[in-house]
Amino acid sequence: MEKIKAGIIGTGFVGSVHIDALRRLGFVEVVAVAEANEELARKKAADFFIPRAYSNYYDLINDPDVQVVHNCTPNHLHMEINSAIIQAGKHIFSEKPLGMNRFESGKMLELAEKHQVVHGVNFNYRMYPLIQDMKHRVQKGELGKINLIHGSYLQDWLFYETDYNWRVEPKFGGVTRAIGDIGSHWCDLAQTITGLKITEVFADLSTVIPIRKKSKNIETFREDRDLTDYEEIPVQSEDWGAVLIRLENGASGVFYVSQVCAGRKCYFNIEINGSVKSFYWNQEEGDRMWIGYRSQPNVYLMRDPNQLDPKCREYTIAPGGHPEGWLDSIKNSLLAYYRSILNTKKSLNKKPDYATFHDGYDISCIVDAIAESHQKGKWVKVIR
Which residues have C-beta within 8 Å of that of residue 298, sequence separation ≥ 6? Answer: 290, 291, 292
Note whether 290 and 300 are within 8 A (CB).
yes
What pLDDT score was predicted for residue 92? Answer: 99
What CA–CA distance (Å, rounded) separates 230 from 232?
7
pLDDT at 181: 98
Bridge partner residues of 121 (DSSP): 94, 355
Q: Is 217 exposed, middle or buried (0-12, 13-18, 19+ CB in 10 A)?
A: exposed
Residue among 289, 301, 44, 82 nearest 189 (CA): 289
CA angle (158 as vertex; 155, 159 as ends), nearest 5:
85
pLDDT tens for the chain, 384 residues: list them. 899 999 999 999 999 999 999 999 999 999 999 999 999 999 999 999 999 999 999 999 999 999 999 999 999 999 999 999 999 999 999 999 999 999 999 999 999 999 999 999 999 999 999 999 999 999 999 999 999 999 999 999 999 999 999 999 999 999 999 999 999 999 999 999 999 999 999 999 999 999 999 987 666 656 666 667 789 999 999 999 999 999 999 999 999 999 999 999 999 999 999 999 999 999 999 999 999 999 999 999 999 999 999 999 999 999 999 999 999 999 999 999 999 999 875 555 678 999 999 999 999 999 999 999 999 999 999 999
**Predicted local distance difference test score (pLDDT) of residue 226:** 61
* Residue count (the chain): 384
- For the chain, domains (ranges, CATH) are 4-124 (3.40.50.720), 126-354+359-381 (3.30.360.10)
pLDDT score of 293: 99
In this prediction, residue 218 carries a pLDDT of 63
pLDDT at 135: 98
In this prediction, residue 85 carries a pLDDT of 99
Please tell me whether the overall predicted TM-score, pTM, comes out greater than 0.75 for this model.
yes
- What pLDDT is stored for residue 215 in this prediction? 84
> Quick one: pLDDT at residue 219?
61
**DSSP-based three-state secondary structure for 342:** helix
Helices (H) and strands (E) in the chain, counts: 12, 17
Going across the sheet that includes 28-34, the strands are 52-54, 28-34, 4-9, 68-71, 91-94, 119-121
Backbone angles phi, psi at 121, to 5 degrees: -130, 145
Do you find a cis peptide bond into 97, omega within 30 degrees of 0? yes
CB 134 within 8 A of CB 283: no
Asked if 198 and 191 count as a contact pair (C-beta separation under 8 A), the reply is yes
157-193 exposure pattern, b = at least 16 Cβ within 10 A, e = fewer: bbbebebbbebbbbeebbbbbbbbbbbbbbbbbbbbb
- What crossing angle do the helices spanning 184-194 and 357-376 adopt, rounded to 10°? 120
Rounded Cα–Cα distance for residues 230 and 283 (Å): 35
- Predicted local confidence at residue 216, as pLDDT: 72
